[in-house]
Structure 1
Amino acid sequence: MTFRSAYRHHFLRVAAATIRTTMADPAANADAVLTTARECHDDGVGLVVFPELTLSGYSIEDVLMQDTLLDVVEQHLVALAAATADLLPVLVVGAPLRHRHRIYNGAVVIHRGRILGVAPKSYLPTYREFYERRQVAPGDDQRGTIRIGGDDHPFGPDLLFSATDLPGFVLHAEVCEDFWVPVPPSAEAALAGATVLANVSGSPITVGRADQRRLLCRSASSRCLAAYVYAAAGEGESTTDVAWDGQTMIYENGERLAESDRFPKGAQRAVADVDLDLIAAERRRMGTFDDNRRTHADRVDGFRTIAFTLDPPDRDIGLKRSVERFPFVPADPERLEQDCYEAYSIQVSGLEQRLRAIGQPKVVIGVSGGLDSTHALIVAARAMDREDRPRSDILAFTLPGFATGEHTKNNAIALSEALGVTIETIDITPTARTMLAEMDHPFSRGEAVYDVTFENVQAGLRTDYLFRLANQRNGIVLGTGDLSELALGWSTYGVGDQMSHYNVNGGVPKTLIQHLIRWVISSEQFDDDVSAVLQSVLDTEITPELVPTAEGEEVQSSEAKVGPYALQDFTLHHVLRYGFRPSKIAFLAGHAWSDASAGQWPPGFPDDRRPEYSPAEIRRWLEVFAQRFFSFSQFKRSALPNGPKVSPTGALSPRGDWRAPSDMSARIWLEEIRREVPEE
């Protein structure tokens, strides 16, 4: 398959569809289903879920028991199946079907000319406006076959439909009320291996019911670590005593991917691409999911699997799902506000507890005027406020070296003074010159040699000073390095910025730190003087300030060396949370970053700092990430100081989310990139 095909990267395009129902007219309803199915075929959709009793209409009450209706339903169900012979989508349609002595409310699964099986409604409501047992039988105890059009087909709530050519696509179907009970059939099906759960629903609408359905869909998809595809009946159903809104929606692992407008005029559908790899990854990592399967093995081991070949398209069909440019920074303003509040509070409360536990020492921190030390300083200030301690117990030090700029140093001093912390300056250049001279480094002889030794002499001295100052003044060194730097190994090991007594930033990626500072400004955590300095810090280039530059030269840039933090945080999220292949990450990054004018940006993100990246750039920085993350930097992460986990993506502490050897090669990841990721 072409690299740009969503199906190659194990996405499944699904649709939840509602039609204009014609009551007791199976021919008209089958035609409406076929029209939608053909449109979905053209759109590359692999699964379409329709409402309950699609072919007959849900609201026909006792008419459901008329032989004429049942005969015509069966006739047009067989014809509908035959008409799908050349269509891509698996269809899940509702139909009343005769079996033994009763009628069953079935979800019929159809694909490429065949009826694959029928899942009967297990639980029949007989409360409030519902009286379903009057006409149909519960199917929870059915296991076997059902005869339709002279052929026998699998029948029961225990059916899984598994695609042989799309890894991870395993479908289960249930009917309306089934997902309102405490243990739905879909829950057992998920434990048995279903990844996509379909619900064909009637569900007349009343005030508040739409939110209840959303809650159930979200909960089912979250608990079952699955996709949940829901379609309710809409226009054309009888309004004798109730009304219908045609709500359709798609959820994946608790996140809503798509929802259509309610009360549509005519047919309508919600369409989204479900990430089958993501579902599988979450299940592999959450060991208790399979433990739950073992607990219920007596039931789930009995599920039957019907295999089919989807034959998905080998072309670029786009990607119908939102891909956050900044996985750690949601574009939704309300969600971002909540995330920033929680992240900042986690950092503050983590530091508070550490200070209480060790006798309330002072806090020693090196401040450079950069993002990380700035954020750590305002975390420490808030922790002191909450502990009713003076901010003067924070001992901030600027430690200028050979390349320290006046702008960043002045920001550090101005911020410290505005916060009311104790601020001192110790110029490390004389000590650094002595060390470099004693090492006979070329710089000491007047040569412009700015190698890693030159840089690390400065980084090491800063940390050495901070630890000795902490000894002298009864304090602890507060670390400032962030999650992105830990992932890329962008820190000086040992006596360097990799080490501290406690690091509040170790669980926070660089991209989120920028927004945390923006949130601190917008939420007025501090006064206007503090906010003004914070804004100045945000507007400054990210640089370690270790290499001197002549007038007119660009300052040393961290991102020129390790890659744009926006891209590297994107990759980190998908590696750490899901373990995705580099080729899949490149595919997602292309959709997220190829066009700066498309999609949403987080609130407050400056218009003039919105980059876009070409396939070649994405590939280049993926290689850098793979080399540094898997092969180079683990030894630094294996000796991390304590600090709180902040993001659900994970942390890199060897005591937490990421345990790995320090002497491993990145070869297989680099080979996958070079083999599978195109340069253009």
Structure 2
Amino acid sequence: MFGYYRLAAAVPNLRVADPAFNARQIIGQLAEAAAAGAGTVVFPELSVTGYSCGDLFFQTALQKAAAQELASLARATVEHPVIAIVGLPVLIGSRLYNVAAVLQNGRVQALVPKTQLPNYREFAEKRYFSAGASLDGRTVRLDAFDYDIPAGTDLLFDGGGNFQFGVELCEDLWCVVPPSCRQALNGAKLLFNLAACTEAPGKAAGRRERVVQQSRRCSAGYLFASAGIDESSTDTVHAGHALIAANGELLAENDRFQRSGSLIYADIDVDRLNNIRLSDTSFNDQPAGTGCRRIMLGSVPEAPDWHYASLVRQPFVPPPGPAQTEQLQDIVAIQCAGLAKRFLHTRAERLILGVSGGLDSTLALLIGCQTLQLLELPNDRLLALTLPGFGTSSRTYHNATALCRQLGVELREISIRDACLQHFRDIGHDPALTDTTYENAQARERTQILMDVANQQNGLLLGTGDLSEIALGWSTYNGDHMSMYAVNASIPKTLIPALLTHLGGSGGEAVAAILRDIIDTPVSPELLPTDGDGNLQQKTEELIGPYELHDFFLYHFINFNAEPAKLEALARQAFDGIYPAGQIRRSLKLFLQRFFRQQFKRSCSPDGPKAGSISLSPRAGYKMPSDASPDAWLAGLEQ
């Protein structure tokens, strides 16, 4: 489905030196994985014999039994149509190799030998096995098979489309330049590791970190399956650690020390990995080194559904926990550092800000205060202006003024009503006609006042517009679109509540209570008159759709170049039961139309710090022509 493939990492039960028993366990997990829709399953290192056979590896009986069961495992991939990657010792000539066998459609498609052979006290592999590079460029004929089998460390596997993968074994990942790096540079989007790691306190954390880091370094999916508790415990213990990561994100992990084996899955977006590489010049600038032989496999089916896909509804918002706190602190620090630099560089004496009681201006207010504290200046160096107009509600007005008083900033009120009425008379506009002119005149009047007060006070006017509004062009050109420094320029709307909650934690209960009510207030530009009871007549999300949908589209559109049909499918899965399909499609159409047609506003946007994964700055962010047509994208949505 749209480039997603279901992959599995398996840790079967095992008897040391009993290939027949082990093959049955592997086939059982193959059947289970195939029934779950997996396209590929990776098993631990030497999973056919067990890793801890010791000098029994020299025994002809064990070697022959392993070869015989390799044939039965290959046949099983006909009944259970998946790619199986299993580990076993293979005798080639007078040398024994620790290999990964890639099986599909009833055949052994290739043998990948281990590149790095450890020589530890607990297990000296060089005692038994030969280094794999000696097989590069070769094919081999094994006694149990009537066809030649490609063998070597120089193999790359191709299952059609963007489904290309490489294989390495355990210690290979821990060497200075893992084979998976070369495989990735030669086109592998998926990397499989067959391992047999012994356990020690703290070792699992380092293993997990290594797998996640390698997936990020290679912009790839990385699957790791390590030998389980049934290995010999003569001197060491194995725990059966299985991990699946993609581009620096851990997607799945099993519980170690399971006594019944384990099987974990993840649906990995391989097309996304390819798109990440497309825009990652540091990846593409790396030399691929010596080439890889390409092994053409039968086509691999995409995932049948989204059951194991990591689809987050609010991808800009870090998940709760210590990591969230750290990331929110980093965002605030970046905003404050950028503002402090601009404040000092311009030799401004004050910060100027229009406050409305909405999310955006509240965040800018808190960032302004934090920046002044960083510079060891009092909060009253920030001048906040409330500029009530025809649509200002009592709720937002009182929240804005109460928060300013709690924070100790200077607060000034200037009504824009009379000035706007005079402006309407000047241009011959009927104030009863509440159209675009009526709305934009208020936004531009506010900006005029703020700019002039900034000049008067030798101040720096803070912009309040957020990333979501900038993406949609949801601002008045040369009104709230303009400022002297846009501190929220890379902060999406869905992230602001988390930032306000984070910043309000140190302000006392009075500040926290105001912030909670601001978060709960419907988003509105407040440019149309309120009703007779003072309630809002204008709610942004009723006009353009939910911001969490637009932020979801923006995240996948910019970061991964997702096509419109895929954006819709991802959103329908992520928001299943929350928004109906029709609403998702309408919101997506509007997103695409506005993103293209409002680029002219972004082409002349003020400076602002990049504090997240996306910037739409025309200088250091997203670059596109102001007159590009959205028709090809809209047509793709209709297909």
Task: Give yes or no for TM over 0.5.
Answer: yes
Per mean C-alpha deviation after superposition, the further-off stretch among 432-441 and 634-643 is 432-441
Please name the residue that 1:324 is paired with: 312
CA apart distance, 1:135: 1.0
Match among 249, 262, 271 for residue 255 of structure 1: 249
Please name the residue that 1:67 is paired with: 60
CA apart distance, 1:311: 4.7
Alignment of 1:521-600 (within 5 A): 521-522=504-505, 524=506, 526-551=507-532, 555-595=537-577
Match among 393, 411, 433 for residue 381 of structure 2: 393
**Using the alignment, how far apart are the partners of 2:451 and 2:536 within structure 1?**
32
Match among 197, 215, 219 for residue 221 of structure 1: 215
Please name the residue that 2:611 is paired with: 646
Please name the residue that 2:267 is paired with: 273
CA apart distance, 1:366: 0.5
Letter in 2 for 1:115: V
**Using the alignment, how far apart are the partners of 2:308 and 2:81 within structure 1?**
17
Please name the residue that 2:206 is paired with: 212
For residues 235-274 of structure 1, give each alpha carbon's deviation from its aligned partner in whole angstroms, at most 9, with x where no partner exists.
3211111111001110111110000110011221111111
Normalising by structure 2, report the TM-score: 0.97
Q: Does residue 396 of structure 2 align to residue 408 of structure 1?
A: yes
For residues 44-74 of structure 1, give each alpha carbon's deviation from its aligned partner in whole angstroms, at most 9, with x where no partner exists.
0011000111111110011111111111111
Please name the residue that 1:375 is paired with: 363
Match among 36, 40, 43 for residue 29 of structure 2: 36
Match among 585, 602, 612 for residue 637 of structure 1: 602
Secondary structure of the corresponding residue to residue 149 of structure 2: strand
For residues 367-407 of structure 1, give each alpha carbon's deviation from its aligned partner in whole angstroms, at most 9, with x where no partner exists.
11111011101110111111111211111111111111122
Q: Does residue 464 of structure 2 align to residue 480 of structure 1?
A: yes
Q: Does residue 3 of structure 2 align to residue 10 of structure 1?
A: yes
**Using the alignment, how far apart are the partners of 1:332 and 1:197 within structure 2?**
30
Secondary structure of the corresponding residue to residue 151 of structure 1: coil
Secondary structure of the corresponding residue to residue 9 of structure 1: coil
Please name the residue that 1:5 is paired with: none
Please say if residues 9 and 225 of structure 2, whose CA atoms lie closer than 8 Å, have aligned partners that are also in contact.
yes
Please name the residue that 1:469 is paired with: 453
Secondary structure of the corresponding residue to residue 206 of structure 1: coil
Please say if residues 543 and 558 of structure 1, whose CA atoms lie closer than 8 Å, have aligned partners that are also in contact.
yes
Q: Does residue 496 of structure 2 align to residue 502 of structure 1?
A: no
Please name the residue that 1:3 is paired with: none
CA apart distance, 1:457: 0.4
Alignment of 1:146-295 (within 5 A): 146-148=140-142, 149-164=145-160, 167-293=161-287
CA apart distance, 1:318: 3.2
Secondary structure of the corresponding residue to residue 79 of structure 2: coil
Aligned length: 635
For residues 517-553 of structure 1, give each alpha carbon's deviation from its aligned partner in whole angstroms, at most 9, with x where no partner exists.
011123x1x2333222222211211110001132267
Please say if residues 43 and 86 of structure 2, whose CA atoms lie closer than 8 Å, have aligned partners that are also in contact.
yes
Alignment of 1:327-476 (within 5 A): 327-443=315-431, 448-476=432-460
Q: Does residue 639 of structure 2 align to residue 658 of structure 1?
A: no
Please name the residue that 1:96 is paired with: 89
Please say if residues 45 and 88 of structure 1, whose CA atoms lie closer than 8 Å, have aligned partners that are also in contact.
no
Per mean C-alpha deviation after superposition, the further-off stretch among 57-66 and 553-562 is 553-562
Please name the residue that 1:56 is paired with: 49
Please say if residues 123 and 140 of structure 1, whose CA atoms lie closer than 8 Å, have aligned partners that are also in contact.
no
Q: Does residue 503 of structure 2 align to residue 520 of structure 1?
A: yes
**Using the alignment, how far apart are the partners of 1:621 and 1:659 within structure 2?**
23
Please say if residues 19 and 235 of structure 1, whose CA atoms lie closer than 8 Å, have aligned partners that are also in contact.
no
Secondary structure of the corresponding residue to residue 558 of structure 2: helix
**Using the alignment, how far apart are the partners of 1:532 and 1:132 within structure 2?**
64
For residues 486-544 of structure 1, give each alpha carbon's deviation from its aligned partner in whole angstroms, at most 9, with x where no partner exists.
000000112x001001010011001111110011123x1x2333222222211211110
CA apart distance, 1:321: 2.8
**Using the alignment, how far apart are the partners of 2:65 and 2:219 within structure 1?**
39
Q: Does residue 602 of structure 2 align to residue 620 of structure 1?
A: no
**Using the alignment, how far apart are the partners of 1:280 and 1:311 within structure 2?**
17
Letter in 2 for 1:135: Y
Please say if residues 348 and 460 of structure 2, whose CA atoms lie closer than 8 Å, have aligned partners that are also in contact.
no
Please name the residue that 1:492 is paired with: 476
**Using the alignment, how far apart are the partners of 2:252 and 2:460 within structure 1?**
49
Please name the residue that 1:601 is paired with: none
CA apart distance, 1:103: 0.5
**Using the alignment, how far apart are the partners of 1:591 and 1:240 within structure 2?**
49
Secondary structure of the corresponding residue to residue 158 of structure 2: strand
**Using the alignment, how far apart are the partners of 2:340 and 2:511 within structure 1?**
22
Please say if residues 324 and 331 of structure 1, whose CA atoms lie closer than 8 Å, have aligned partners that are also in contact.
no
CA apart distance, 1:554: 5.0
CA apart distance, 1:591: 2.2
Letter in 1 for 2:618: P
Letter in 1 for 2:529: P
Per mean C-alpha deviation after superposition, the further-off stretch among 338-347 and 101-110 is 338-347
Secondary structure of the corresponding residue to residue 481 of structure 2: coil
CA apart distance, 1:313: 6.4
1:170–1:635 CA distance, 2 compared to 1 (3 A):
same
Please say if residues 88 and 312 of structure 1, whose CA atoms lie closer than 8 Å, have aligned partners that are also in contact.
no
1:142–1:622 CA distance, 2 compared to 1 (3 A):
same
Please name the residue that 1:609 is paired with: none
Structure 1 unpaired stretches of 5+: 1-7, 596-611, 676-680
Secondary structure of the corresponding residue to residue 132 of structure 2: coil
Please say if residues 319 and 591 of structure 1, whose CA atoms lie closer than 8 Å, have aligned partners that are also in contact.
no
For residues 597-633 of structure 1, give each alpha carbon's deviation from its aligned partner in whole angstroms, at most 9, with x where no partner exists.
xxxxxxxxxxxxxxx1111111110001000002x11
Please name the residue that 2:98 is paired with: 105
User: Aligned-pair RMSD on alpha carbons?
Assistant: 1.4
**Using the alignment, how far apart are the partners of 1:31 and 1:16 within structure 2?**
17
**Using the alignment, how far apart are the partners of 1:622 and 1:554 within structure 2?**
26
**Using the alignment, how far apart are the partners of 2:81 and 2:323 within structure 1?**
37
Per mean C-alpha deviation after superposition, the further-off stretch among 530-539 and 187-196 is 530-539
Secondary structure of the corresponding residue to residue 233 of structure 2: coil
Please say if residues 397 and 423 of structure 1, whose CA atoms lie closer than 8 Å, have aligned partners that are also in contact.
yes
Q: Does residue 294 of structure 2 align to residue 305 of structure 1?
A: yes
Please name the residue that 1:604 is paired with: none
For residues 458-503 of structure 1, give each alpha carbon's deviation from its aligned partner in whole angstroms, at most 9, with x where no partner exists.
0000001111111111112110000000000000112x00100101
Normalising by structure 1, report the TM-score: 0.91
Please name the residue that 1:605 is paired with: none
**Using the alignment, how far apart are the partners of 2:349 and 2:109 within structure 1?**
69
**Using the alignment, how far apart are the partners of 2:498 and 2:248 within structure 1?**
24
Secondary structure of the corresponding residue to residue 85 of structure 1: helix
1:132–1:159 CA distance, 2 compared to 1 (3 A):
same
Please say if residues 387 and 414 of structure 2, whose CA atoms lie closer than 8 Å, have aligned partners that are also in contact.
yes
Please say if residues 46 and 310 of structure 1, whose CA atoms lie closer than 8 Å, have aligned partners that are also in contact.
no
Q: Does residue 632 of structure 2 align to residue 674 of structure 1?
A: no
Secondary structure of the corresponding residue to residue 182 of structure 1: coil
Secondary structure of the corresponding residue to residue 22 of structure 2: helix
Please say if residues 3 and 302 of structure 2, whose CA atoms lie closer than 8 Å, have aligned partners that are also in contact.
no
